[in-house]
Amino acid sequence: MKKTYVGGCHCGAVRFEADIDLSQGTYRCNCSICTKTRFWPAIVTPDSFRLISGQSDLTEYLFNTRQNRHCFCRRCGVRSFGVGHLPATGGEIYGVSVNCLENAEPRELIDAPITYVDGRHDNWQQAPAEIRHL
């Protein structure tokens, strides 16, 4: 069941709300940026994400295909969410960092299923051979 979570960056400049059903799963990826930032997102559609404040405090990082927008707070550097394109869902998606959800109970995060993807090799339908470090 969806729950409205509130969250944001470390310094509080970027604030958002997101309607997420954590029981539907989260993702861990072994690509270079997700590995280095320990990004752990839940995927939501644009109608389930609301940026409350901090638009002017966001900066974006684009690399590789330059289609995924990695959004960071320019003050504290925290990546609370990103915006990408997923044809299977019909277009734009938000990857919301579950570590930035302030009203998520530890049990909700423990119980959230994780799908591992091999982004390092552009193999998004299969888990990498090793996942313990992700």
State pLDDT tens for residues 91-128. Answer: 899 999 999 999 999 999 999 999 999 989 988 888 99
126 found inside a domain: no
Residue 133, in any domain of the structure: no
Alpha carbons 52 and 7: distance in angstroms, whole number: 10
Range of the domain at 21: 3-121
Mean of the pLDDT values across residues 26-55? Answer: 95
Instruction: Tell me the per-residue pLDDT of 63-96, one tens digit each, with 9 for 90 and over.
Output: 877 778 999 999 999 999 999 987 766 789 999 9
Asked if the structure places residue 10 within a domain, the reply is yes
In angstroms, the CA 59 to CA 42 distance is: 21
Contacts with 79 (C-beta within 8 Å, 6 or more apart), sequence order: 37, 39, 70, 71, 72, 97
**Does residue 30 sit within a domain?**
yes
Residue 83 has a pLDDT of 95
**Residue 76 located in a structural domain:** yes
Q: What CATH number corresponds to the domain at position 49? A: 2.170.150.70
Say if CB 115 and CB 27 are below 8 A apart: yes
The tally of domains found in the chain comes to: 1
Could you tell me if residue 65 is inside a domain? yes
Q: Exposure of 91 by Cβ count < 10 A (0-12 exposed, 13-18 middle, 19+ buried)? A: exposed
pLDDT in the model for residue 56: 98
Average pLDDT over the chain reads 93
Taking the chain, what is the end-to-end CA distance rounded to the nearest angstrom? 26
Please state, as a whole number, how many other Cβ atoms lie within 10 Å of the Cβ of residue 112: 18
* Residue 61 in domain: yes
pTM, entire model? 0.91
Q: Would residue 86 count as lying in a domain?
A: yes
Q: What mean pLDDT comes out for the span 41-59?
A: 97
pLDDT at 89: 65
